[in-house]
Structure 1
Amino acid sequence: MERQTGMRKTLMAAVAVLAAAPALAQDIQFTIVNQSGVDITELYARAAGAGDWEENILAGATLPSGNDGTVTIAGAGACEFDLRMVFADGDQLEDRANLCENPSYTIN
């Protein structure tokens, strides 16, 4: 009986940890694929509808056309994001994406 009680306590502790998991801000990781024909020089993300854009994710790097890269948004706490891409020719594109449902975002 004591073994069964110990196992029950372990399972209850595991359930408590799993129940608390959604409350913790999770990192979001997604792949951005640049099929636009123009290099991306800046990439910004923010929780959908939030005020200000966060810092440039590319941080001075470039995502050339025909290439992809993996992006991690630390402690995101959301799935819906507004994305803003700035291209080498000066054009800009803003879009909204659910990065939990689709962890790959392609720019055509």
Structure 2
Amino acid sequence: MLSTRLASALLLTALAVPALAQDVSYQITNDSGLTLMELYSAPAGEGSLASDDLLAAQVLPAGETGTVTIAGGSETCDRDIRFVFEDGSEKTDTVNVCDSASYTLSPG
């Protein structure tokens, strides 16, 4: 009887622990014609994008594909993403990083 109660209590405790958000690896294909210099991401609708450049010290030349890791991305799959190019131009978009593991930057 005691072991049944203990097992039930442990099960309830385990169910009460929230799932930890997983990092999401996301492929970016740069078909924009320009080198991608910076990439920022935040949960959609948050109003401001994270200040950490996901490319860090790297760049993504035109015609290349690279992978970035969005820390805790599975917690909020819909993400606002901002791309900054070598000429200073920017592109923003909202994508679901859980439904699709890749994004292609097109020209213009």
Fold match (TM-score > 0.5): yes
Q: 1:74 aligns with which of 61, 71, 74?
A: 71
Q: Within 5 Å, which residues of 2 pair with 1:1-108?
A: 22=19, 24-54=20-50, 55-76=52-73, 77-108=75-106
Identity %: 43
- TM-score normalised by length of structure 1: 0.76
Query: How many positions carry a matched residue from both structures?
Result: 98
* Structure 1, unpaired ranges of 5+: 1-8
Larger helix proportion of the pair: 1
Which consecutive unaligned segments of at least 5 residues does structure 2 have? 1-6
* SS of residue paired to 1:62: coil
Q: Name which of structure 1's ranges 56-65 and 33-42 shifts more when overlaid on structure 2.
A: 56-65
Task: Normalising by structure 2, report the TM-score.
Answer: 0.76
TM-aligned CA deviation for residue 75 of structure 1: 1.9
